[in-house]
């Protein structure tokens, strides 16, 4: 047993949502966790929640599927998950990030037991200038938890952000987001990536899929055959 986890399980803490005292691996009580905006049936390609009964793929993916092969998230980007992610990402609320990361890890580990396990986890990179300002890369921290829980190898610096770009949240639509990050990522010369055939990209939120598609493009150019995306939450377009 991990000694740090054993201590964490014994210490009381407050639920991130209702603020009641809880004891456990992370700071969410069972009632609040059950009431989070869990995704129901989703598109088998892009992971967006489906409104069409009986469909396996959304109309957008049937017409123009993204470059990546699948996208998985436990939650929709709705309250209170959206606030927990914002607090984690911009206010360094690591309790929120850890709780959601542990849930993602359980969610993905169950999926991988039933299907293909990735050879490698690759966190979406930040440019060095933004990393200095924020102090941490939230995608890397999520990937660390996912690697620890699933046993999947992690390549922390397998991907590089080659140039700074404005935050994607400042872009108006998918076209602007795509143009904003075009040709801004690279793949490191790493034997782990060279030998990998199936990788999982790890991020906090997927919205327009622009980042995931650009990273998939450079990974497949580097010889990766299959790319899946894992994130805490999927935002509707």
pLDDT at 169 over 60: no
pLDDT over 90 for what percent of the chain? 76
Cα-atom radius of gyration of the chain, to the nearest Å?
Answer: 18
| Continuous H helices in 74-200 | 81-91, 94-114, 128-134, 138-150, 174-181, 191-195
More confident residue, 184 or 146: 146
Distance separating alpha carbons of residues 192 and 155, to the nearest angstrom: 7
Judge whether 66 and 212 are in contact, CB under 8 Å. Answer: yes
Please check the confidence at residue 3 and state whether its pLDDT lies above 50.
no
Range with lowest mean pLDDT among 113-117, 134-138, 227-231: 113-117
Q: In the chain, which ranges are E strands?
A: 12-14, 21-23, 70-72, 75-76, 120-123, 159-161, 185-187, 198-206, 226-234
Per-residue pLDDT band for 220 (boundaries 50, 70, 90) equals: very high
Cα atoms in the 13 Å half-sphere on the side-chain side of 192:
15
Comparing 107 with 130, the larger pLDDT belongs to: 107
The pLDDT of 82-105, averaged and rounded, is 97
Q: For residues 171 and 215, what is the distance between their CA atoms, to the nearest angstrom?
A: 18
* For range 59-84, the mean pLDDT: 97
Neighbours of 175 (CB within 10 A): 11
In CATH, the number for domain 67-234 is 3.40.50
pLDDT in tens, 16-69: 999 999 998 999 999 999 999 999 999 999 999 998 667 899 999 999 999 999
What is the band of 6 on the pLDDT scale with cuts at 50, 70, 90?
very low
What does the domain layout of the chain look like in residue ranges? 1-35, 67-234
Report, as an integer, the average pLDDT of 200-213.
Answer: 95
pLDDT value at residue 10: 56
Quick one: average pLDDT of 157-177? 68
Residue 1 pLDDT greater than 80, yes or no: no
Whether omega before 55 lies within 30 degrees of 0, making that bond cis, reads: no
Phi/psi for 228 (5° steps) reads -115, 155
When the pLDDT of each residue in the chain is averaged and rounded to a whole number, the result is 90
Averaged pLDDT for residues 194-220? 95
pTM (two decimals): 0.89
């Amino acid at each position: 047993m991990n000694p740090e986890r054993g201590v964490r399980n014994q210490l009381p803490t407050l639920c991130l949502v209702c603020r009641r005292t809880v004891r456990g691996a992370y700071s969410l009580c069972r009632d609040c966790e059950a009431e989070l905006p869990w995704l129901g049936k989703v598109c088998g390609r892009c992971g967006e929640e489906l409104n069409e009964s009986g469909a396996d793929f959304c109309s957008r993916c049937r017409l123009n599927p993204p470059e990546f092969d699948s996208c998985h998230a436990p939650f929709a980007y709705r309250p209170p998950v959206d606030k927990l992610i914002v607090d984690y990402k911009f206010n360094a609320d690591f309790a929120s990030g850890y709780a959601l990361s542990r849930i993602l890890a359980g969610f993905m580990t169950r999926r991988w037991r039933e299907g293909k396990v990735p050879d490698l986890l690759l966190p979406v990179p930040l440019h060095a200038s933004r990393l200095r300002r924020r102090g941490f890369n939230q995608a890397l921290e999520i990937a660390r938890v996912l690697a620890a829980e699933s046993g999947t190898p992690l390549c922390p610096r397998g991907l590089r952000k080659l140039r700074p770009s404005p935050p994607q949240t400042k872009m108006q639509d998918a076209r602007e987001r795509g143009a904003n990050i075009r040709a801004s990522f690279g793949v490191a010369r790493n034997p782990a990536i060279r030998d990998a055939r199936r990788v999982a990209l790890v991020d906090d939120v997927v919205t327009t899929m622009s980042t995931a598609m650009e990273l998939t493009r450079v990974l497949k150019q580097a010889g990766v055959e299959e790319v899946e995306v894992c994130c805490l939450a999927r935002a509707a377009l």
